[in-house]
């Protein structure tokens, strides 16, 4: 039995998308606000969100970012990269092009001091193997995100796991996203639909169908997921919500995953970073849709001591709550859950830096 | 996903000699390449404007809507605004209240669901705003 893990508290700026989008905060002010509200020490960014021109960053940005980190005492945890295989309309990027597309994103992460790059499922086991020397060169770990509708037992994830085990490198691993393990549909989304005048019978059916899918278990094939998607589209059409059909299907079958929390055990030894995805915090301080206590118990018992970025995705529809407050609510729940599991969450920046490490450039 | 309500902001309507400028925010959480924009549809005072009459401006360049899917090397940064220029017989005056509806369809280039088929995001936003 491994020693109990002590995960590092953190947040991704993704949680504050709505206010960054709306120009309520500049990038620098958003980072300062995260520090002021003690939502760190861990700080994660989405490259294509926070940095103009990413991955071609302006020459002075690296210096400005490093000064901002010094000023705020935050600790860079992960830079989220994107694998835009569908960049062109005429064809998909070739494997060579996709690997080349990822290269500068990994290099920028190292320059900015991020020890992990979140990468996405468009990358195959072969792509990951080809990116390993790039990761080694820059001394950053690649954490392939396991995001709903994918899940730990999905054949694509199992194929990656098999490759990681074969290669045995500390530079290749996963970024589990808790959205793959929901237990309910967010009530805030239902409220938003209700306020928009969506037929109450459709809302009831959407929740029912989500629970039917839940009983079936997380999808193992594209066909199964396609069938679910089609069911939701059809329901929306039947209830006069054709204009929302795709959006509802993406939400119900794409975002709110069905994997039992215990399924994560397989991949946790390879987890280099975590997205603590959540949607809402209730009056009792619990997260009704994500089984946070159960998940944290598993993470701690597996010896996980990397970062957990609180990732609030409710902003897509929830424009009435303060994103900083809901993130603080999830972080309190995570801390309580770690204590209940006999461990603790690291909030001290120096201790966090010691656990996460920093990129070691040009190792090879 | 429902970031559609973020396409238009309070300061979206701009005076233009051709008619009206409409500043759009990318209805997604990250910057996207212009090639991700499948279509932009505009209606002014409930009257649809033919897509071929629209011009799209970003970072000093101008495009037809139909040219956007080819622009795979130009980023629409999430804090930058894409300005759609709508020709009107009478240019909208400063302070005038105009009812506009904008629909943006995106193809998300990293969310493939089948070969060459990607998750789409449909964002529609209708507001009456003052021209600045």
- A289 assigned to some structural domain: yes
| CB-count burial class (<10 Å; 0-12, 13-18, 19+) for A155 | exposed
Using the predicted structure, report yes or no on whether residue B126 has a pLDDT greater than 50.
Answer: yes
Residues of chain A contacting B, Cβ within 8 Å = 14, 17-18, 20-23, 46, 48-49, 52-54, 82-89, 91-92, 120, 122, 192, 222, 226, 243, 246-247, 250-251, 254-255, 316-317, 319
Least confident range from A57-66, A305-314, A344-353: namely: A57-66
Alpha helices in chain A (DSSP H): 17-21, 27-36, 47-50, 59-72, 95-112, 125-138, 155-167, 187-195, 200-216, 222-238, 245-249, 292-301, 323-340, 349-356
- A207 assigned to some structural domain: yes
A60 contact partners, CB below 8 Å, separation of at least 6: none
Q: Rounded mean pLDDT of B87-95?
A: 96
| CB-count burial class (<10 Å; 0-12, 13-18, 19+) for A325 | exposed
Looking at the structure of chain A, the number of domains it has is 2
- Nearest residue of chain B to residue A83 (CA atoms): B110
Closest CA to A305 of A329, A271, A336: A271
Which residue in the set B109, B120, B121 is minimally distant from A85, CB to CB? Answer: B109
One domain, residues A243 and A281:
no
Last residue of a domain, one of A253, A276, A311: A253
pLDDT tens digits, residue range B6-62?
A: 899 999 999 999 999 999 999 999 999 999 999 999 999 999 999 999 999 999 999
| Residue range of the domain that includes A211 | 187-253
Query: Strand A274-278 and strand B19-24: pairing?
Result: unpaired
pLDDT band at A229 (very low <50, low <70, confident <90, very high): very high
> CA B15 → CA A131, A139, B18, B121, distances in Å?
49, 51, 9, 29
Check residue B122 and give its pLDDT: 87
- A351 assigned to some structural domain: yes
Check residue B2 and give its pLDDT: 47
Last residue of a domain, one of A253, A287, A303: A253
- A166 assigned to some structural domain: yes
Q: Rounded mean pLDDT of A321-348?
A: 98
Compute the distance between CA of residue A25 and CA of residue A174 in angstroms, rounded to an integer. Answer: 31
Compute the distance between CA of residue A139 and CA of residue A244 in angstroms, rounded to an integer. Answer: 44
End-to-end CA distance of chain A: 34
List beta partners, residue B122: B105
Using the predicted structure, report yes or no on whether residue A362 has a pLDDT greater than 60.
Answer: no
Last residue of a domain, one of A253, A283, A302: A253
pLDDT band at A58 (very low <50, low <70, confident <90, very high): confident
One domain, residues A232 and A85:
no
Using the predicted structure, report yes or no on whether residue A334 has a pLDDT greater than 70.
Answer: yes
CATH assignment at residue A280:
3.20.20.150
For residue A141, the surrounding DSSP H or E stretch is: strand A141-146
pLDDT tens digits, residue range B56-83?
A: 999 999 999 999 999 999 999 999 999 9
């Amino acid at each position: 039995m491994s020693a109990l893990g002590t995960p590092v508290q953190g947040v991704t700026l993704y949680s504050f998308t709505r206010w960054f989008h709306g120009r309520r905060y500049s990038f620098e002010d958003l980072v300062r606000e995260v520090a002021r509200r003690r939502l760190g020490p861990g700080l994660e960014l989405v490259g294509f969100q926070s940095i103009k021109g990413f991955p071609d960053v302006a020459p002075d940005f690296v210096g400005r970012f490093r000064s901002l980190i010094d000023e705020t005492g935050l600790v860079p945890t992960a830079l989220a990269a994107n694998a835009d295989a569908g960049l062109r309309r005429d064809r998909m990027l070739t494997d060579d092009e996709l690997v080349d597309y990822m290269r500068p994103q990994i290099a920028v992460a190292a320059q900015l001091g991020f020890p992990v790059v979140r990468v996405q499922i468009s990358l195959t086991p072969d792509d990951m193997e080809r990116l390993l020397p790039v990761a080694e060169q820059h001394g950053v770990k690649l954490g392939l995100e396991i995001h709903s509708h994918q899940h730990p037992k999905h054949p694509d994830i199992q194929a990656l796991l098999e490759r990681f085990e074969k290669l045995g490198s500390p530079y290749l691993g996963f970024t589990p996203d808790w959205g793959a393990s929901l237990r309910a549909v967010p009530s805030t989304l239902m409220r938003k639909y209700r306020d928009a005048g969506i037929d109450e019978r459709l809302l009831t059916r959407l929740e029912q169908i989500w629970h039917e899918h839940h009983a079936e278990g997380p999808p193992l094939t594209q066909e199964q997921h396609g069938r679910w998607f089609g069911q939701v589209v059809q329901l929306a059409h039947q209830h006069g919500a054709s204009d929302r059909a795709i959006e509802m299907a993406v939400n119900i079958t794409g975002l709110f995953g069905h994997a039992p929390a215990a399924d994560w055990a397989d991949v946790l030894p390879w987890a280099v970073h975590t997205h603590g995805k959540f949607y809402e915090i209730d009056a009792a301080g619990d997260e009704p849709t994500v089984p946070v206590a159960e998940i944290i118990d598993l993470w701690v018992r597996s010896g996980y001591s990397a970062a957990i970025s609180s990732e609030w995705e409710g902003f897509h529809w929830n424009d009435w709550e303060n994103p900083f407050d809901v993130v603080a609510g999830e972080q309190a729940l995570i801390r309580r859950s770690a204590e209940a599991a006999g461990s603790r969450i690291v909030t001290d920046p120096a201790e966090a830096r010691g656990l996460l490490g920093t990129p070691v450039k040009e190792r090879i | 996903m429902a970031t559609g309500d973020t396409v238009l902001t309070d300061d979206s309507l701009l005076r233009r000699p051709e008619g009206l400028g409409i500043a759009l925010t990318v209805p997604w959480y990250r910057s996207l390449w212009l090639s991700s924009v499948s279509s932009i549809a505009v209606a002014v005072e409930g009257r649809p404007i033919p897509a071929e009459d629209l011009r799209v401006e970003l970072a000093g360049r101008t495009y037809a809507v139909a040219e956007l899917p080819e622009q795979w090397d130009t980023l629409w940064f999430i804090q930058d605004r894409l300005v759609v220029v709508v020709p009107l017989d009478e240019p909208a005056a400063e302070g005038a209240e105009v009812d506009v509806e904008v629909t943006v369809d995106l193809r998300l280039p990293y969310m493939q669901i089948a070969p060459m088929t990607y998750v789409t995001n449909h964002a529609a936003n209708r507001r009456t705003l003052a021209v600045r």
